[in-house]
Structure 1
Amino acid sequence: MSNENNTTQATETAQFPSNVLPKNIDKLTAYSSAKSEKLTGTTWLNANESPYTRAYELSRTEFNRYPDPQPESVINAYSAYVGLSAKQVVMTRGADEGIELLVRTFCTPSQDSIALFAPTYGMYKVTADTHNVAINALSQEVLQQSDVSDIVAQIGDSKLVFICNPNNPTGAMVSTQKIAAIATQLQDKAIVVVDEAYIEFCPEQSAVSLINDFNNLVVLRTLSKAFALAGLRTGFTLASEALLAPFRKVLAPYPVASVVADIAAQALSTSNIVSMRRQVGILNALKQRLSQWLQQSAAVNKVLSGEGNFVTLQLHDKSAITRAYERGLVMRPFTLYGQDNWLRISIGSEQELSEVKAWLDSLTNDNQ
């Protein structure tokens, strides 16, 4: 059989019966994570990962028994960390599972919608599309600049309202006062979901303090960023006990692996939390230094101010990104506000950020 026939046969085999695949899945555009892009490099600043590592030891070596669905040691440690009761905390496989479970629990497919404020984290849209839930796409400008009554009017009858705070990729923040006002006006109408993946970099702005006042407020958290455990895939959904009751119904039977619970419990020890906060202080200082370099660079058109362990900027010429790849420097390009010359740089170590400075200097020198 010829190579051409082999190719044709492979193509026909790869096709899936259209009458079996739901239309919303057939049309779905999957989320493109930083690690899904097959890139090569030596300095990785594209996924908002921490540059810090820590050694952990497993306390058990036998895995023939199923794990505790909600490991008590982790739940108690995290509830103490955030100042809530254990009944207000659910451990998930990253904050992403929390997003998925909220949509699956509270939204009726082909009937309900979620509201989001673009540009923002892409998994809100992908999750809604996956579950055939409509999307009410509002803008960050509406969230940041409009008064609460106008925001609520534009939210309309959306069942879930996702607020990424700090926002990825812009770093913008919404005050807890504004979140409280939105939750107040949406009482008995919608659930406000505050995604605080990056909140350890500005902990004084957390909405966790509002949970005991609102039964329609959810806060999502993760150990992936400041706790430097992106590879562990550990997140937490925080809310009132009443709100979490139906949420718990749709949890997988054993969502947390024993080894994950073991490491998470160690990460939440008092000494490790102190260490995490010290590292956050260092990264925030490095971020300030990077922002100054970017603002002084002739190759940069605009630098967005905001919180989180990243800086988002607009380049004068997006070919500068190719130059970075050629140097082994991997950062995250974006299309924002209809323009494709945006770049997000994760805050790495001092040595890693020196590579960014060298790249910026090379761009400036070439233009002289």
Structure 2
Amino acid sequence: MSQIQLPENIASLNAYSSAKSEKLNGTTWLNANESPYSRRVSLDFEALNRYPDPQPEAVIKAYASYAGLSPEQVLMTRGADEGIELLVRTYCVPGQDKIALFLPTYGMYKVTADTHNVGITALEQSLLQQGSAAEIADAVGNAKLVFICNPNNPTGATVSTDKIAAIAAALKGKALVVVDEAYIEFCEQLTAASLLSDFDNLVVLRTLSKAFALAGLRTGFTLAPPDVLAPIRKVIAPYPVSAVVAQIAQEALTPDAITQMRRQVSILNKAKEKLTEVLGGSEKIAKVMIGEGNFITVQVRQVNDIKQAMQSGLIMRPFTLFGEDNWLRISIGSEQELEQVRRWLTQPQAEQQ
């Protein structure tokens, strides 16, 4: 049987390489920005013979309360990644429209655009950080969606709410400004959620994967004005949220659970401060990027030191940034996990090959 020809954009697609897709072997996992805290949950399996509520009311209300929004401004998705995909699929015409992003940043924006044959206006993080709203709007051009990862993965760089408001104002009637807040719990004061009542072209993406310690649940939320969500509600799958996921998410959003999450975030932020100091004083590290999120990105003097860590079972995330392949992102794990990083830093430097 002859092979069916793929669309050109799929045939040439470079798929996103997630931390877990690489099938690495290790003992200490600090490569996926996961929380070191596991959760115990109680589940009711009696109703699994019935289709679930497409948008579970109790979860929507709980998250709206947590985010300071109305339920009409909240859409529950399969991770924030589905929110990215839904925005591109809903608002962009394949082969015609573009998205804008600021590199380096989260890779799924590009992969999603490529998958849907949507163009990319690739801008620099330096423009986002240092340029005016007018300069940014001019550089964005005719892009339909503008993705701002805040805090940015992998650099940790942040954008103030005032600047996001200015960018949204400059792009009013031209583009949707999509603020990906996957790591916002680590710097809650920077959230753009409070701006949603002021701008009809603003979207905020959230997840339970990071601070809420539920990466395995694959649960996210798209926060936006009701008019922006209305067409997305037509595009989303009929039953995107399983009953089991809804139960766990509802439990994670109780007041007590949110208090516990914030306590864990405080512990992780303090651990990050300590590790930043250690990294800054290490001969193996050439540069430490200062930013927010439950990770630190560093430039290692010798690539072989990264290989040395991998061989010892310490799994962190290597990157090529700014044209150099000696960058490493280290997730903030437990004290025991971070001790493995400290031990690696004190080992003799690997010989260059």
What range describes the TM-score normalised by the shorter chain of this pair?
Answer: over 0.9
Opposite residue 55 of structure 1, the aligned amino acid is R
> Structure 1's 112 and 365: CA in aligned 2 closer, same or farther, altered over 3 A?
closer
Write the deviation string for residues 91-140 of structure 1: whole angstroms up to 9, x where unpaired: 00000000000000000001100000000000000000000000000010
1:202 match? 187
1:309 match? 294
> Structure 1's 271 and 86: CA in aligned 2 closer, same or farther, altered over 3 A?
same
Contact 2:290/2:296, CA 8 A, preserved across alignment: yes
> Structure 1's 365 and 212: CA in aligned 2 closer, same or farther, altered over 3 A?
same
> Structure 1's 326 and 26: CA in aligned 2 closer, same or farther, altered over 3 A?
same
For 2:239 and 2:312, how far apart are their aligned partners in 1? Answer: 44
Shift of 1:185: 0.9
Contact 2:305/2:350, CA 8 A, preserved across alignment: no
Return the match for 1:241 from 213, 219, 226. 226
2:349 is equivalent to residue 361 of structure 1: no
2:136 is equivalent to residue 151 of structure 1: yes
Higher fraction of helix: 1
Shift of 1:364: 5.5
Shift of 1:38: 1.1
Once the two structures are aligned, what percentage of the paired residues are identical?
65
Opposite residue 105 of structure 1, the aligned amino acid is T
For 1:366 and 1:182, how far apart are their aligned partners in 2? Answer: 47
Q: CA RMSD in A?
A: 1.3
2:124 is equivalent to residue 139 of structure 1: yes
2:4 match? 17
Shift of 1:17: 3.1
2:55 is paired with a residue whose SS is coil
Contact 1:297/1:364, CA 8 A, preserved across alignment: no
Shift of 1:310: 0.1
Runs of 5+ in structure 1 lacking a partner?
A: 1-12
1:276 match? 261
For 2:51 and 2:349, how far apart are their aligned partners in 1? Answer: 57
Write the deviation string for residues 151-210 of structure 1: whole angstroms up to 9, x where unpaired: 110000000000000000000001111100010011111000000000000001100010
For 1:102 and 1:323, how far apart are their aligned partners in 2? Answer: 41
2:34 is equivalent to residue 54 of structure 1: no
For 1:131 and 1:72, how far apart are their aligned partners in 2? Answer: 31
For 1:238 and 1:363, how far apart are their aligned partners in 2? Answer: 48
Mark the structure with the bigger radius of gyration. 1
Contact 1:320/1:363, CA 8 A, preserved across alignment: no
Opposite residue 4 of structure 2, the aligned amino acid is P
1:363 is paired with a residue whose SS is coil
How many residues get paired?
Answer: 352
For 1:163 and 1:108, how far apart are their aligned partners in 2? Answer: 21
For 2:132 and 2:198, how far apart are their aligned partners in 1? Answer: 21
Opposite residue 329 of structure 1, the aligned amino acid is L
1:8 match? none
1:102 match? 87
Shift of 1:312: 0.0
* Residue pairs, 1:27-66, within 5 angstroms: 27-66=12-51
For 1:293 and 1:220, how far apart are their aligned partners in 2? Answer: 33
2:62 match? 77
Give the TM-score taking structure 1 as reference length: 0.94
Opposite residue 50 of structure 1, the aligned amino acid is S
What stretches of structure 1 move > 6 A for 4+ residues in a row?
A: none
Shift of 1:81: 0.2
Runs of 5+ in structure 2 lacking a partner?
A: none
Shift of 1:60: 3.3
Shift of 1:41: 0.4
Shift of 1:298: 0.7
1:118 match? 103
Give the TM-score taking structure 2 as reference length: 0.98
2:45 is paired with a residue whose SS is coil
1:237 is paired with a residue whose SS is strand
Write the deviation string for residues 240-263 of structure 1: whole angstroms up to 9, x where unpaired: 011111111101000000000000
